[in-house]
Amino acid sequence: MFNLINDTFNINEIVDSSSAEVLLENELTLPESNPDIEKIISTEGRVKINSTLAKEGSVNVDGTLTYNIIYRSNDEETTVSSMSGKIPFTEEISVAKAKEGMLPQVNPYIDYIDADLLDERRCQIKSVISLDMDIINEHPVDYVSDLESDGTFQAKAKNIKYTDKITELSEEVDISDAVEINKNSDEIDEILKDESEILITNIDVLDDKMLVEGNCKVGFLYTEKNSLNTTGYVSEEFPFTHYIEIKNSSDNMLKDIDITIGEMTYSTAENYDDEKKLIEFKLPFTINAVLYDTIEKNIITDCYSTDCFLNVESDDINLTLLRDIVDKTVKYENNFDIVSGSIKDIYTADVSPKISEKRIFDDKYVVDGFLDVNMLYLNGDINKIDKAYASLPFTASIDLKEDELSSSNITSDINISKSGAYRKGNSSVIINCDINVKMKLRDKEEISIINNITEGKPIERNKMPSLVFRVVQPGETIWDIAKNYNLSINYLKELNDIPEDNTLDSGSKIIIARMV
């Protein structure tokens, strides 16, 4: 006879992972206010995931591609202009283990984007969007934590560790300010392109508050009001400080903090000299904070009875232990030559990573890939804005500690910050940037959780042999043998000369006598 003691714990189980590509092709027509297109200079974009929905065997992803196209025109008054807009997309992605109610986590990035000129008023934008996805099953797990028995019930317990999401919150913040162009520049005619970057510089936890400090950098590419329709670029950094209220936090918890940048709005304004040389902006962003803690539970993993057969109900689950979150930065510098004209001035340089391989090699976590560089510059040969492109190889190596090497699973997110471009002579460019690698070190284990036990029919001892001499097989334990014959471990130890640590030597003989 026995009495079960049941309990419940919650887990966030990664049940499946998947990758998919979304191909977008859209024909665009210039607004009537825009001049005709002579040549497309650059096409850039940003992706935002608006919603996800898990269904049986698939996940629906709704998102938006925001594009910006800069082009040259034959118009004498407006030699360079831009066009921007949004393209919504919906994609159903096949994910074998997805079920209704599960939580998809999607990481999107643009693998390719360009625009082909159809005629002077139309172009076709093409983009390939890559989606990396984890399917999370957040659910309670019922388990047998303990039991009361008259001695006939034999149980094997195990101490398990897993990571629980203690707190998850998001807070919206915005920075509203203004940047002013050079006093020697002419007034702003049109803003061709905006850029924004937010970097976290410090995180502190004080009592029930988390202090997040960082820098916001904004930049604007614009044309000036003059006969040459010259192009300029201005950027500036703005520090920020934000407090987030958190509950039930401790120093031992792992903190995963990231920032999602929203869509910046801006307008030109006059400065104190009544000149239109100010750009007033508002940049919204969201601080996402997740706090993880390690939970330990003692669970029964196997059982049997010496009196009767048992009906055991169990579930197989994947336990994930997040051991650490590591942020590392690798400095990068390289150079390339432009293929068209000469460089008179560099306006912007966008750098995005394309990952070829992630691996552990020689006590290091190594990321190989290419940095796609799209640079806008003033071509001195024609005195007009032009574009240069390069794909530069990179390798980011992160030293791993001994305990980090033993982790069974390492995932990482790669992003680029603090990118810059500098002229070297008339046709060569030096590119430098920070390659930021955020690694999550996990241990994964699939275990069987017993959630209920009921008694079956009695064991008929009279049908068993009275005496058995059994040869211990390789890897066999005293638990395996005792369970196979429904005998208590103590009873087997009384019959055999088994050491206190219960170790058995392969090939040795065990006497098994029928209980009466």
Name the helix (H) or strand (E) containing 481. helix 478-484
Query: Is the predicted pLDDT of residue 141 greater than 70, yes or no?
Result: yes
CATH placement of domain 460-516: 3.10.350.10
Tokens of 451: 């959630």
Q: What percent of the chain has pLDDT over 90?
A: 61
For residue 154, name the pLDDT band (cuts at 50, 70, 90).
confident
pLDDT tens profile 400-458: 888 777 777 888 999 999 999 999 999 999 999 999 999 999 988 888 899 899 888 99
Average pLDDT estimate for 185-207: 92
- Output Rg (C-alpha) for the chain, integer angstroms: 32
Query: Which one of 148-152, 504-508, 511-515 scores highest in mean pLDDT?
Result: 504-508
Q: What is the mean pLDDT of the chain?
A: 91
Sign for the pseudo-dihedral over CA of 332, 337, 338, 343 = positive
For residue 209, name the pLDDT band (cuts at 50, 70, 90).
confident
Residue type, 216: C
CB atoms within 10 A of CB 292: 21
Strand order in the sheet with 103-119: 2-29, 122-149, 103-119
For residue 237, name the pLDDT band (cuts at 50, 70, 90).
very high
β-partners of residue 300 are 157
Q: Report the distance separating Cα 113 and Cα 128, nearest Å.
A: 7
Q: Report the distance separating Cα 84 and Cα 67, nearest Å.
A: 5
Q: Report the distance separating Cα 281 and Cα 99, nearest Å.
A: 43
Query: Is the predicted pLDDT of residue 514 greater than 80, yes or no?
Result: no
- HEC profile of 347-388: EEEEEEEEEEEEEEECCEEEEEEEEEEEEEEEECCCCEEEEE
In the prediction, which pLDDT does 120 show?
Answer: 93
Write the DSSP string, 97-154: T--TT-EEEEEEEEEEEEEEEEETTEEEEEEEEEEEEEEEEEEEEEEEEEEEESS-EE
C-beta separation of 211 from 197 below 8 A: no
Smallest CA-to-CA distance from 376 within 398, 349, 402, 410 is with: 349
In the prediction, which pLDDT does 1 show?
Answer: 64
Q: Report the distance separating Cα 469 and Cα 510, nearest Å.
A: 6
Query: Is the predicted pLDDT of residue 516 greater than 70, yes or no?
Result: no
For residue 149, name the pLDDT band (cuts at 50, 70, 90).
confident
pLDDT tens profile 260-269: 999 999 999 9
pLDDT tens profile 1-36: 678 888 898 888 888 888 899 999 999 999 998 999
C-alpha 199, offset from chain centre: 17
C-beta separation of 69 from 121 below 8 A: no
Average pLDDT estimate for 245-265: 87
Tokens of 491: 């009873």
- Please, which residues have CB within 8 angstroms of residue 393's CB and are 6 or more apart in sequence? 368, 369, 370, 371
In the prediction, which pLDDT does 445 show?
Answer: 86
In the prediction, which pLDDT does 490 show?
Answer: 87
C-beta separation of 127 from 112 below 8 A: yes
**Minimum mean pLDDT among 10-19, 159-168, 243-252, 469-478: which range?**
243-252
In the prediction, which pLDDT does 6 show?
Answer: 86
Average pLDDT estimate for 224-251: 88
**Minimum mean pLDDT among 32-46, 110-124, 198-212: which range?**
198-212
Q: Report the distance separating Cα 443 and Cα 460, nearest Å.
A: 44
Tokens of 272: 């104190």
Q: Report the distance separating Cα 217 and Cα 197, nearest Å.
A: 5
Q: What percent of the chain has pLDDT over 70?
A: 99
Average pLDDT estimate for 159-177: 91
In the prediction, which pLDDT does 358 show?
Answer: 93
pLDDT tens profile 329-358: 999 999 999 998 999 999 999 999 999 999
> Residue ranges of the domains in the chain?
1-150, 152-306, 324-444, 460-516
Query: Is the predicted pLDDT of residue 50 greater than 80, yes or no?
Result: yes
3-state secondary structure of 218: strand
Tokens of 288: 């996402």
Query: Is the predicted pLDDT of residue 515 greater than 80, yes or no?
Result: no
